Chains A and B, each alone.
Chain A
Amino acid sequence: MSSVPTLYIPLDSVAVSLGADQLADKISSHINSKNLPINIVRTGSRGMHWLEPLVEIDLEGQRIGFGPLDEQDIEPFMHALAADATQHPKYLGPIADIPFFKDQTRLIFSRCGEIDPLQYDAYVQLDGGTGLRKALAMKPADICSEVLASGLRGRGGAGFPAGIKWQTVAGAEADQKYIVVNADEGDSGTFADRMIMEGDPLLLIEGMAIAGIAVGATQGYIYLRSEYPIAERILKAALDVARKNNILGGNILDSGKAFDVEVFVGAGAYICGEETSLLNSLEGKRGEVRIKPPLPALEGLFGKPTLIHNVISLCSVPTILSRGADFYRDFGMGRSTGTMPFQIAGNVKHAGLFETAFGVTLRDLVEKYGVGTLSGAPIRAVQIGGPLGAYLPEALFDLPMDYETMAQNGAGVGHGGIVVFDEQVDLQEQVKYAFEFCVEESCGKCTPCRVGAVRGVEIMEKIKNDTDTVKQMELLDDLCELMVEGSLCAMGGMTPIPIQSAMKHFPEDFKISGGQTTLAKGGH
């Protein structure tokens, strides 16, 4: 550790959206003008977004936080640093002691916010690369078995066992195989992929390299949405860092094995988060979904076996390799093993990212750690898992967050996003929006989704005007059933989830008295 004190200022999109860049500039010119011996390091975010921009300093081996800092705070802040930092009004104490942070189990985000995301030495110092080194010493089939034994399931929403996918791709015979990362994080209320790509991109690259070695793929792609310009810049720089340090390239860590990665930026299409649509887009085509089978694991990108995973799934892999499947499997409950970075967003006081083992309750996430709504009004509903996720009422807040429990209650963990609404929310309006979103984002390939969404908007307009509501509700039920049964992918197939959950749990918003409707048939 150098004797020159270091200030840590986040470069994460959230911090930047609240002025972190200007803050860093001002602090930097202050330091230069006074000739102070202070280093500035830009880091990812700690995920405590109500404190952003959150500036940290090393004091006696501890990271001490100050936030949220704005430009007016700089002079007094710099004075406080020279005198007694604890006296500064924005002094937060050691980061590690803040309950929101202390109570987390950070297996994936352990380095995020701690280090310069592009400093390879800092990455290695904090255990980076250990998983890859272990993997290189193993037989590819054993890597797949380890991932299977960990119980890791896809974090993009579907929750499919990762190990089975790996074994399928590993077992496929082909002259070329691919690793594709789905970084088209379009669900409202989610930002875990963005945060890890901005805060610890080498982790994702390491996870991809391990996957490549395990399944026999030499080329990887990160399909990134165009709405994430900061992540794009950092990822591209991280690829250079990785190549320079032999994490990528023709001879990974002198193992004789080859693997390389490209970043591919999309062009604004939510549907490209669906894996087959993403593959078409990556081939430079319209992002329309493909009919399955064939599975991408056997016939994916350019018809070749392709392991396609969400960012967080692959970011979970280095830990599984470095600390073992048993270690990883001990976290979580039932068939939901390991940790999940839950993202608490919307109308909530302490919004941010909270990584913890599966099994945490919604109540803990939104009330204990989220501390209720930002508006101060009571929470009325949360939507879990993005625009295709269920709206749940307060009565269900004690459910543990795991794949099975959520499914039994007509909901899904999805990508771990939780959007909080206060009592101002009109669920009828949200239902109409769910259809409108489907109209906007449907790829148009299958009729139930393309036309069903338009019919849905029309029905909701009639219900709003109270035109023949009982009949419209019946139609809505039929429509939802058709979309669930007849759509090619989750876009049309899951759009009914927010709709039916809203009508089931919040019937009062639909001018229905006490659920006395035809909903019993369709209600999830």
Chain B
Amino acid sequence: MDISTIIAPYLKATGGVLTGLRAIQQEFGFLPPTTEKVVAEAFNLSRAEVKGVISFYADFRREPLEGTEVRLCAAEACQAIGARQLTEDVATACETLPPVSLVPVYCLGLCSVAPAAMVGGKLIGRANVEKIKHEILNQSEEVVA
């Protein structure tokens, strides 16, 4: 699907620019270089405005992620129970795993079962290196299969 087709349903929607950008990223895994131009024309905005929106939000990325996305919570409740150490340990463990992108996240709402992680969209409570490793391997196998 091309970008104009993806954003077509959102042209009249409230906050449609943001929802449209989310949809584009959903489709491609990132926002391709032509995003500003196409979105700006469709919503009657300047390219600078669209670029401003894209750069403001942490979720948007301009390049595809490498491998599985591993989001580790870096906020206080997780810090209180070892998130800083876990982040280091996961980074070390990932050196010998299929490719992953480590992305910090500020709160997944799992503060009562901290530390929290999200591996390729899957939530992991009381996260540790073993659980995260297991999930990364699981998901890489699925991709291969």
Give chain A's interface residues, CB within 8 Å of chain B.
13-14, 16-18, 49-50, 52, 185-191, 194, 221, 226-230, 262, 264-270, 281-288, 343-347, 351-353, 374-375, 383, 386-387, 417, 419-422, 425, 430, 433, 437, 440-441, 443
Q: Is B102 an interface residue (CB 8 A)?
A: no
Q: CB within 8 A of A17: which of B14, B59, B106, B116? A: B116
A347 CA / B49 CA spacing, docked (Å): 43
* In contact, A14 and B113 (Cβ under 8 angstroms): yes
Q: How many interface contacts (CB-CB < 8 Å) are there between A and B?
A: 154
- Besides the known contacts A267-B21, A374-B81, 17 further A-B residue pairs in the complex with CB atoms under 8 A apart: A16-B123, A17-B126, A50-B112, A188-B78, A188-B106, A267-B22, A281-B18, A283-B14, A284-B15, A284-B16, A284-B43, A345-B114, A346-B114, A352-B112, A375-B81, A437-B106, A440-B106
Given contacts A267-B58, A268-B57, A375-B81, contact A191 B124 (CB under 8 A): no
CA distance A14 to B111 in the complex (A): 9
Do A284 and B17 form a contact, CB below 8 Å, given A343-B112, A351-B112?
yes
What residues of chain B lie closer than 8 Å to A374, measured between beta carbons?
81
B129 at the interface (CB under 8 A from A): no
Is B114 touching A287 in the complex (CB atoms < 8 A)?
no
Taking CB atoms, residues of chain B closer than 8 Å to A270 are 106
The answer to whether A13 touches B106, judged by C-beta atoms less than 8 angstroms apart, is no
Per the 8 Å Cβ criterion, residues 38-53 of B in contact with A are: 43, 49, 52-53
B107 touches which of A188, A264, A347 (Cβ 8 Å): A188
In the A-B complex, the 3 residue pairs with the closest CB atoms: A17-B125, A188-B75, A346-B80
**Which chain A residues lie closer than 8 Å to B22 at the CB level?**
226, 265, 267
Taking a contact as CB atoms under 8 Å apart, the answer to whether A347 and B19 are in contact is no
* Interface CB pairs A-B, < 8 A, 8: A13-B109, A16-B123, A17-B123, A186-B106, A229-B121, A264-B14, A284-B15, A345-B111
Q: Is the CB of A351 within 8 A of B18?
A: no
* Interface of chain B residues 56 through 98 with chain A (CB within 8 A): 56-60, 73, 75-81
Q: Which residue of A lies closest to B57 (CB)?
A: A267
B100 interface hit (Cβ, 8 Å): no
Q: Which of chain B's residues have a CB closer than 8 A to the CB of A443?
A: 56
Measured in the bound complex, the distance between the Cα atoms of B83 and A419 in whole Å is 14
Verify B106–A343 contact, CB threshold 8 A. no
Inter-chain contacts of A269 with B (CB < 8 A):
56-58
Q: Which of A190, A283, A285, A374 has the most CB of B within 10 A?
A: A285
Q: Which residues of B contact A267 (CB under 8 A)?
A: 18, 21-22, 57-60
B110 to chain A, nearest CB (A): 5
How far is it, in angstroms, between the C-alpha of A353 and the C-alpha of B53 when the chains are bound?
35
- Are B124 and A430 in touch, CB under 8 angstroms? no
Contact residues of B between 122 and 145, Cβ < 8 Å to A: 123-126
**Known A226-B59, A268-B57; contact A347-B112, beta-carbon cutoff 8 A:** no
The CA-CA distance from A49 to B108 in the complex, in Å, is 15
Minimum Cβ distance to chain A for residue B47 (Å): 14
Chain A residues with CB below 8 A from B109, complex form: 13, 185, 190-191, 194, 227-228
Q: Which of A17, A50, A186, A284 sits near B53, CB closer than 8 Å?
A: A284
Q: How far is the CA of A285 from the CA of B112 in the complex (A)?
A: 33
Identify A346's interface contact among B15, B19, B111, CB under 8 A. Answer: B111
Whether the Cβ atoms of A264 and B106 lie closer than 8 Å is no
Chain A residues near B111 (CB-CB < 8 A):
188-191, 343, 345-346, 351, 417, 419
Distance of A267 Cα from B57 Cα, bound (Å): 6
**Do residues A268 and B59 form an inter-chain contact, with CB atoms below 8 A?**
yes
* A contact residues around B60 at 8 Å (CB): 267-268
B114 proximity list for chain A (CB < 8 A): 345-347, 351
Q: CA separation between A433 and B58, bound complex, in Å?
A: 18
Question: How distant is A432 from chain B, measured CB to nearest CB, in Å?
Answer: 12
Q: Tell me the smallest distance from the CB of B111 to a CB of chain A, in Å.
A: 4
Asked if B57 and A284 sit within 8 Å, CB to CB, the answer is: no
Given contacts A267-B21, A283-B14, A419-B76, contact A17 B57 (CB under 8 A): no
CA A397 – CA B124 in complex, angstroms? 31
- Name B17's closest neighbour in chain A (CB-CB): A284
Give A227 to B60 CA distance when docked, in angstroms: 13
Q: Which residues of A contact B57 (CB under 8 A)?
A: 266-269, 287
User: Across the interface, which residues of B come within 8 angstroms of A17, CB to CB?
Assistant: 110, 113, 116, 123-126
- Chain A residues positioned under 8 Å from B126 (CB to CB): 17-18
Whether the pair A346, B76 counts as a contact (CB closer than 8 A) is yes
Could you tell me if A345 and B112 are in contact, using CB atoms closer than 8 angstroms? yes
